[in-house]
């Protein structure tokens, strides 16, 4: 990668006290993309073509709806709807054909493993339309870029490894992404140090959260009601965010 490396957002993310700095960067990328697709640049013809082809998933349609730029969203949804209607007419004929084929089978062939096999095509096509999302695609690209930046900084920025070692690790999704990308961009002792450090803080974070969420449950015992909460008050939220990725916002 020879592009410009923007380290500022990663420094900023790693200076926050949180369970996964990558989740902060994920939220940042998601917000930027939601604003972008509701902004004027999306009216450019090439961008419209891509929107019409890929559309958005349920989560991101909802996010854009909640922002409230209804005219921009209406224009995009209208043309995406038109394009989807065209695809739907093909899928609809496949579904009708599958039903006709199934009905036309001799009785002894209507049972067994291949029953309803002709429906798989239209089912897959419908699911592909529903899941396809331009914002998910862009956020995935942004996150690859951010993870690459973390690895780059680990290698080139003298003070970063220490800050990284003081972080609380990552959520499982981003831990997996780090392990996937680390061997592509780091090697030798540096790779080992990065993976060992991350794995160490990850394991310790799970042990710490285990204790915090256990104390949360113990606080429901009347004998503990006057004892201090410590760090346990938001332990359920932080544990869920650690197990998946940041699904519950602050
Ligand atoms: Zn994360
Ligand atoms: Zn999406």
Note the pLDDT tens digit of each residue in 18-67: 999 999 999 999 999 999 999 877 778 888 899 999 999 999 999 999 99
User: Mean pLDDT across the chain, nearest whole number?
Assistant: 92
Q: How far is the CA of 130 from the centre of ligand 2 (A)?
A: 10
Distance (angstroms) between ligand 1 centre and the Cα of 171 equals 4
Ligand approaching nearest to the C-alpha of 143: 1
**In this predicted structure, what is the pLDDT of residue 83?**
95
Ligand whose nearest atom lies closest to the CA of 30 = 2
- Given a cut of 70, whether residue 1 has pLDDT beyond it is no
Name the pTM for this structure: 0.88
pLDDT value at residue 56: 96
| pLDDT at 3 exceeding the cut of 70 | no
Helix locations, the chain, DSSP H: 8-14, 21-38, 45-54, 58-67, 70-104, 120-131, 134-156, 160-165, 172-185, 188-218, 235-243
pLDDT band with cut points at 50, 70 and 90 for residue 194: very high
In the reported structure, the alpha carbon of residue 233 is separated from the centroid of ligand 1 by a whole-number distance in angstroms of: 21
Q: How many Cα atoms within 13 Å fall on the side-chain side of residue 91?
A: 16
The closest of 207, 204, 150, 156 to 174, measured between CA atoms, is 150
Return the domain boundaries, the chain.
18-136, 143-243
The pLDDT tens digits of the residues spanning 53-106 come to: 999 999 999 999 999 888 889 999 999 999 999 999 999 999 999 999 888 877
Counting ligands in written order, the one closest to the CA of 172 is 1
User: Which residues, including other chains, have CB under 8 Å from residue 212's CB and lie 6 or more apart?
Assistant: 230, 231, 232, 235, 238, 239
Cα(94) to ligand 2 centroid in Å equals 27
Q: What is the pLDDT of residue 2?
A: 52
**More confident position, 60 or 118:** 60
Q: Which one of the ligands is nearest to 136 CA?
A: 2
| Residue 156 predicted with pLDDT over 70 | yes
Ligand 2 midpoint to CA 135 (Å)? 5
């Amino acid at each position: 990668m020879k592009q410009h490396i923007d380290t500022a957002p990663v420094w900023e993310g790693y200076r926050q006290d949180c369970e996964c700095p990558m989740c902060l960067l994920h939220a940042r990328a998601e917000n930027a993309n939601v604003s972008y697709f509701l902004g004027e640049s999306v009216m450019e013809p090439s961008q419209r073509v891509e929107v019409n082809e890929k559309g958005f998933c349920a989560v991101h349609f909802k996010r854009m709806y909640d922002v409230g730029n209804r005219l921009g969203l209406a224009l995009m949804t209208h043309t995406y709807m038109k394009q989807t209607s065209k695809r739907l007419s093909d899928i609809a004929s496949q579904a009708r054909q599958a039903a006709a084929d199934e009905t036309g089978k001799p009785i002894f062939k209507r049972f067994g493993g291949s029953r309803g096999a002709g429906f798989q095509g239209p089912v897959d096509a419908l699911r592909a339309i529903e899941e396809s999302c331009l914002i998910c695609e862009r956020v995935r690209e942004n996150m690859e870029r951010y993870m690459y930046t973390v690895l780059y900084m680990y290698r080139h920025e003298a003070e970063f490894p220490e800050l990284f070692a003081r972080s609380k690790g990552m959520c499982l999704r981003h831990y997996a992404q780090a392990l996937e990308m680390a061997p592509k961009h780091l090697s030798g002792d540096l790779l080992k140090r990065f993976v060992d450090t991350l794995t160490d803080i990850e394991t310790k974070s799970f042990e710490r959260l285990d204790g915090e969420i256990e104390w949360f449950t113990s606080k429901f015992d009347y004998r503990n009601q006057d004892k201090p909460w410590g760090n346990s008050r938001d332990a359920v939220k932080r544990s869920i965010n650690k197990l998946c990725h940041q699904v519950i916002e602050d």
